[in-house]
Structure 1
Amino acid sequence: MNAFISGFSLGISLILAIGAQNAFVLKQGIKKEHVFVICFVCALSDAILIFAGVSGFGYLVEQFPSLQTFARYGGFAFLCVYGLKSFYSAWRMSHELKPEGITPPTLLKTILLTLAFTWLNPHVYLDTVILLGSVSTKFGESAPLFGFGAMSASFVFFFSLGYGARLLAPLFKKPLAWKILDGLIGIVMLSLAWMLLAF
């Protein structure tokens, strides 16, 4: 049980930081678009990476640093494009919760975007595969329980964020609130993009 609690606690602490993925989940939660699928894809992706880390895949990543390099530059390009798109949206869009004549993105497009936010972020590999994977070795035979705790933290966090975001929906009936959110998301995206190459 101690291993599970340790995994859950460490998993939550690593995922709490505001990043591109969390900002995306928050925004879609407010808009109430494909919330369940987005939360499930994010949590399942984390679970797969945590399983890989606990199973020893962290060692493989350390042996082939080119995997991290590819993720770093791919993530940089993706975050730059999405960040600039957020700034454009803050500047030009009308930002209504249910704008008439505008069709929400398809389920497939939403899934692909969610996967990009997750798998093109090199920090997710450092957190889930390498860090959680290395910590799990301290628990010996209880390592799988540690991993299960970390996986549970991801499911609890993403579904809480996605469905809790709708409580902010009344605030975002005002177009100015959307513009501010898009502006902040743009700042977060471009800041993360710069950090990927600077560190």
Structure 2
Amino acid sequence: MLAATTSGFVMGGTLIIAVGAQNSFLIEQSMKKQWTTLFVLLFILSDAISISLGAMGFGLLLQEYPMLVTVTKWAGVAFLLWIAFNKIKSSLANDALVLAMAKKQLSFKKALLIALAVTWLNPHFYLDTLLLMGNLASQWQENKWWFVGGAIGASVVWFVGLSTLTARFAHHMQRPNFWRWFNRLNAAVLGMVSIQLASL
């Protein structure tokens, strides 16, 4: 029981940290202090749903219908490259405009669509949570739900911790150069994720 929970926590934490697009989005929203709690809950709930479905065997759908992964992959690649392009564009503006864009509040609808897209249009999300974590959970047999609980616990710790830490230091990040380089780094992360997706 304890071994299964610990294993789920460790494996879940390792995989969650690697989902760069989600983390970049959450960091930016946490610095702006815009609907952060909602997106933390959304990411945790998404992980919980996908990992639980994987533990119930739904990961087999990815193996039986690879077209699902292909369609999601190219939609995700296009979307991430579009966001990366806009981040680079923002980083090239003058100081006043950089700060103005950094403080600009997204509409709730747009922010929610981006949050859903960086999660559910990312094939890595499915492969890591639905397939890999699902397969690992099934190996624990009668203790598989303890494994799932541990993995969800890692999701809670990571997303709550990341948003809380970022919000705490947000007041140190209100300089044009910070946002300029943050946007460039963000674009680089999204670009690398899109390249990884395209090579799947």
Quickly name the TM-score band, shorter chain normalised.
over 0.9
Runs of 4 or more, structure 1, over 6 Å off, are none
Which residue of structure 2 lines up, in the alignment, with residue 95 of structure 1? 99
Which residue of structure 2 lines up, in the alignment, with residue 44 of structure 1? 45
Query: How big is the shift at 1:18?
Result: 5.7
Which residue of structure 1 lines up, in the alignment, with residue 123 of structure 2? 122
Alpha-carbon distance between aligned partners in 2 of 1:84 and 1:114, rounded to the nearest angstrom: 17
Alpha-carbon distance between aligned partners in 1 of 2:100 and 2:13, rounded to the nearest angstrom: 32
Query: How big is the shift at 1:107?
Result: 2.3
Cα root mean square deviation, aligned = 1.6
Letter in 2 for 1:183: R
Q: Deviations over 1:158-190 (max 9, x none)?
A: 111112111331321111000000000011111
Alpha-carbon distance between aligned partners in 2 of 1:97 and 1:192, rounded to the nearest angstrom: 24
Q: Is 1:3–1:143's contact at 8 Å kept on the other side of the alignment?
A: yes
Q: Is 2:12–2:152's contact at 8 Å kept on the other side of the alignment?
A: yes
User: What is the aligned length?
Assistant: 196
Alpha-carbon distance between aligned partners in 2 of 1:81 and 1:98, rounded to the nearest angstrom: 18
Alpha-carbon distance between aligned partners in 1 of 2:139 and 2:19, rounded to the nearest angstrom: 28
Alpha-carbon distance between aligned partners in 2 of 1:66 and 1:28, rounded to the nearest angstrom: 33
Query: How big is the shift at 1:55?
Result: 0.7
Structure 1, unmatched stretches of 5+, are none
Which residue of structure 1 lines up, in the alignment, with residue 151 of structure 2? 150
Structure 2, unmatched stretches of 5+, are none
Q: Structure 1 length as normaliser, TM-score? A: 0.93
Cα distance, 1:61–1:98 mapped onto 2, change above 3 Å: closer
Alpha-carbon distance between aligned partners in 2 of 1:85 and 1:140, rounded to the nearest angstrom: 46
- 1:45-64 aligned at under 5 Å gives the runs 45-64=46-65
Query: How big is the shift at 1:106?
Result: 2.5
Q: Is 2:91–2:179's contact at 8 Å kept on the other side of the alignment?
A: yes
Alpha-carbon distance between aligned partners in 2 of 1:18 and 1:122, rounded to the nearest angstrom: 10
Query: How big is the shift at 1:98?
Result: 7.7
Q: Is 1:84–1:186's contact at 8 Å kept on the other side of the alignment?
A: yes
